[in-house]
Structures are given as C-alpha cells and as structure tokens.
Amino acid sequence: ADYDLVVRGGTVASGLGTMRCDIGIRGGRIVALAESIPGGAATLDAGGLLVLPGGVDTHCHIEEPSRGGYTSAGGAPATEVTVQEESFGSASVSAFAGGTTSVVCFVPQWKGEGILPRLADYEARAARGMVDYSFHQIISDATDDVLEREVPEVVARGIRSLKVFLTYEPLHLSDEAFLKVLVTARRHGCLVTVHCENYAAINWRTEALLKAGLTAPKYHAWSRPPVVEREATHRAIALAELVDQPIQVFHVSCAEAAEEIARAQHRGVKVWGETCPQYLALAAADMDRPGFDGAAYMCSPSPRSAEEQGRVWEMIRRGTLDVVSSDHCGFSMHRPGAGKQAGGTAVPFRDIPNGIPGLAARLPILFSEGVSKGRISLDHFVRLTATNPARLMGLAPRKGAIAIGGDADLALWDPKKKVTITNALMQHAIDYTPYEGLEVTGWPVATVRRGTVVMRDGVVQAEPGTGRFLARGPYDFIAPRGLLPDGFDAAPRLE
C-alpha cells in the first residue's frame, strides 16, 4: 500500500500551531501531511482528538543501579546497591500508557570504577525495552583515564550529554572535578546536565535535624530549602560560563534558582532550565504524614509550597524553564527491604531513597494543570514536553515534531476526557503513584511509536526489544559560544 498507516481526522498540534490534517506514515516515518489522505493499509481515527508529537522525556532513571540509592550523605552505606525497581520493559509500557515515545536515561558511574563496562551492561538492558532511548553518561569520578580515554569512546557510541551531581554522597563532584568535566564536554561537543544542590549545606542541615530528633520524612524539605538549590545553580552556571560550556540545570523547583538561570540567559550564557510535574503538583506538605507515608513524595530537590508552584509556572511562561521532564524513579513504597524501604521504615529521612515515579503522569498532569486550566497554550505544552527536549538533546527533527521525514511518534489526545489518576493507570512496575487521586482533564487515547500503534484505549501492545537506541552526533544547538581564545580547548568543528 501507499501508506502503512494513515491517522485521519485529527487536529495536529506541532508546537508551531495547530491544523486539521491527516498524517500518512510509511516505514515508520511521516511521509505526508495533507487535508485528506486516502488509502493506507491501516487507519487510525483521530476524529475529535488532538494529535501531538510523542512525548520526549529527557530525564528518567530506569533500571539504574546506584550506590546508596540516592540517599543523603551519612545515610545508607555507599556499598549498598539499589536498582530502580523497573525494567526497560515495564518502563516502556508506562511511557506508552502516558503518551511518551522517547526517553533519555542514565548510565551510572561509580567512584573508583571506569565507565565502559557499565555502559556495555546498560546498553544491553535498554535494548530489551520498547521505548526509543538515549543516554546521559553520569560522571561521578572524574579521573584522567575517564575523561581522556573513556569519554571519547562514550561519545563515539552516540552519547552527547554528561550528567553531574553537585550533591549525594557517592556521586557529588568538587568544583575542581566539575570544571574538568565541563572542559572535557567542551572538547568533545557534549551538553552537561547538572543536579544543583549544595552538598555541604544539606549535610549540615541534616545532621542538625537528626540531632534534634527531627527525623520524619517531612524534614527532608527542611534539610534542603531553596537557598541550597539557588547557591548550587549559581555556582554551576558561573563555572560553565567560565569554561564557555553549555549546561542544562535539571529539576528546577523554585523561582530563586530559575532567576539565576534567567540572569545568565540575559548575559547570553547558554544555560537551559528543566522542571518537573512534582514541582507543579506536589508540595512539601505532602510529606507531612504519619510514619513512613511521607516517603512517597520524597524527591530532590524537595517539593516546595503552593505559592512556589505558582512561581515555577511563571518561570515556565517566561520561557526560563523550557523543558518539563519526569525525573522518573522506580522506587516502590511497600516492598520490605527494597525501593523506598531499602533501609527499612524506621529510618530517618536521610536514609530513604529520593525519587518518585512519573513517566506516565507527566503529560496528563502538565496538560491538565497547564492547558486545561489556562496557564499555558497547547503549543507551549508541545514545546515543553516534546519539541524543546528533543532539540536540546540533539534528537530533533527526528523526534519531538510532527514533520515530514521525522519518526511517526504520536500521542492521540482527548482534551476533554476526565480521569482520576490511579496507580493502575500508570502501568509501571512500581506499587504506588504520588499523584493517586489527582483529577485531570485530558488523556492519551492512543500512542504510535515509529508508525506502530503501541497503545490504544489504555491497552499497551509492543514487542520487547523493539525500542531503538537514538545515537546522537554533533549538533550546533549546544555548541560553545566561542568566547575562549583559539587553541584554548576549542570545540571540534561541526561538519
């Protein structure tokens, strides 16, 4: 047939405006956009629906083994291993259930170890999933061998972003090590993504809280107030500016950190800011529950206040924060000895892994709280959840758009459908969602990944092993500004 699949009758929202048109798909790609496309071996009726680019979630922790499981300093011994309790298979089902078709997740590095053996292991794990994927390479031990020998190999394998943490006991980098990573990224044409919180500040506050007997989950928020994030954001930007190396600040939770980004952008620094649904729909007060229950909302940075949520929306509207990712973490609440309970339920907040699941909830929450409630336009929603992340990660125009030649990744969206979020609807392998009971307006009713219908009316059908690695080459969007003199670690020329 002329087309493998025709999506007919929908209102296509590309991020640059909406139009009524049909979509002709062949060989997994979009090959025709026209008012009316006849034929097609198969058709998908999108009458009354929006047709959006499949979601691109550029910050997901999937099947990622970590030491100490993202707990704070002095907490779980650094030798303890926590694996996100979800496989690439189960995370793929959840992604498709929520209208997301591409993810970028994290290859771990542990201090004292090289990168390449873990990269090989991680590549094999990811290849078993169904969602298309790329990687950020975590650097937690910036040795000369890692930076000079291994990073070029990582880049050669199609990875174009390095991830660094300025906090967490087994992960955090000193300013000196962070500078070395920035210089290395610049030399090899990578973006650097940064977790910005002040390590020493968190440890000091945590010690003080625990000494005073303030150990409940709600004190997680007290241990890391916004100033802790603002300081690290400022420092990360300053060092990146010094090196002339573009960075993305991950999970901005508060206006004062976003304002650091806005100021730097105003000076022309290439810095971008990401936020997450948890900073728009959860608050520190959610952690104020009896016993262990507050652990369900513990992530870092911490959810803030209702007023702060409003300020984060404002920074989205201004364009300072231009990507919304999930920071999906596969920690269950009710499995003894695992996930949130890795250290048991009687431990202080310090010893509870940070992170919450949100892969399937990301698009519905942002659509409902954003578009349905009139805070952002439909186009802006598409840019935040697909177009901008794809562009920043070098995945555009193949991903993140509805354009001829691009992959046929689509979310068919019912903008009026009212749904109450339950854990079952998330279709992940995790035993809870922090968004249980949240009422949303707008829901994905079908998901298409490279021309294959992988979800319809909530039923996911996809063959394990069909997710593709998205190899990234050099791309101009993240090129340094060229402020350093010639010969001073100049970036390689782009072809």
Binding site for ligand DUC (CB under 6 A): 61, 70, 195, 299-300, 327, 329, 354-355
Nearest to ligand DUC of 46, 221 (CB atom): 221
Nearest to ligand DUC of 246, 355 (CB atom): 355
Whether the CA torsion 92, 97, 101, 105 is positive or negative: it is negative
Shortest distance (Å) from residue 474 CB to ligand DUC: 28
| Three-state DSSP class for residue 106 | strand
Selection from 457, 455, 418 nearest residue 438 by Cα = 418
What is the spatial distance between Cα 478 and Cα 270, in angstroms, rounded to a whole number?
A: 8
Please state the separation of Cα 237 from the chain's center in Å: 20
Shortest distance (Å) from residue 355 CB to ligand DUC: 3
Shortest distance (Å) from residue 383 CB to Zn ion: 21
* 304, interface contact from ligand DUC, Zn ion, none, CB < 5-8 Å by kind: none
Nearest to ligand DUC of 100, 300 (CB atom): 300
Cα dihedral angle (286, 358, 304, 210), rounded to 10 degrees?
70
Interface with Zn ion by CB under 5 A: which residues? 61, 195, 327, 329, 355
What is the spatial distance between Cα 155 and Cα 372, in angstroms, rounded to a whole number?
A: 41
Nearest to ligand DUC of 118, 220 (CB atom): 220
Nearest to ligand DUC of 202, 299 (CB atom): 299
What is the spatial distance between Cα 250 and Cα 273, in angstroms, rounded to a whole number?
A: 6
Please state the separation of Cα 60 from the chain's center in Å: 5
* 181, interface contact from Zn ion, ligand DUC, none, CB < 5-8 Å by kind: none
Q: Which two tokens stand for residue 401?
A: 């758009």
Nearest to Zn ion of 59, 450 (CB atom): 59
Shortest distance (Å) from residue 273 CB to ligand DUC: 15
Selection from 320, 425, 438, 427 nearest residue 373 by Cα = 438
What is the spatial distance between Cα 426 and Cα 91, in angstroms, rounded to a whole number?
A: 10
What is the spatial distance between Cα 370 and Cα 275, in angstroms, rounded to a whole number?
A: 13
Selection from 87, 48, 243 nearest residue 164 by Cα = 243
Cα dihedral angle (112, 113, 115, 116), rounded to 10 degrees?
160
Determine the residue with CB nearest ligand DUC: 355
**Which residues are bridge partners to 46 per DSSP?**
none
* 426, interface contact from ligand DUC, Zn ion, none, CB < 5-8 Å by kind: none
Nearest to ligand DUC of 314, 431 (CB atom): 431
| Cβ atoms < 10 Å from Cβ of 291 | 10
Nearest to Zn ion of 225, 480 (CB atom): 225
Q: What is the CA radius of gyration of the chain?
A: 22
Nearest to ligand DUC of 393, 446 (CB atom): 393
| Cβ atoms < 10 Å from Cβ of 32 | 16
DSSP-derived pairing of the beta strands 65-67 and 81-83: antiparallel
What is the spatial distance between Cα 233 and Cα 272, in angstroms, rounded to a whole number?
A: 11
Shortest distance (Å) from residue 75 CB to Zn ion: 16
Q: Enumerate residues 6+ apart whose C-beta is below 8 A from 12.
A: 18, 19, 20, 21, 23, 33, 50, 51, 402
Shortest distance (Å) from residue 69 CB to ligand DUC: 9
Shortest distance (Å) from residue 162 CB to ligand DUC: 15
Nearest to Zn ion of 8, 118 (CB atom): 118
* 452, interface contact from ligand DUC, Zn ion, none, CB < 5-8 Å by kind: none
| Three-state DSSP class for residue 307 | helix
| Three-state DSSP class for residue 438 | coil
Shortest distance (Å) from residue 359 CB to Zn ion: 11
Shortest distance (Å) from residue 356 CB to Zn ion: 7
Shortest distance (Å) from residue 59 CB to Zn ion: 6
Q: Which two tokens stand for residue 256?
A: 């004062």
* 154, interface contact from ligand DUC, Zn ion, none, CB < 5-8 Å by kind: none
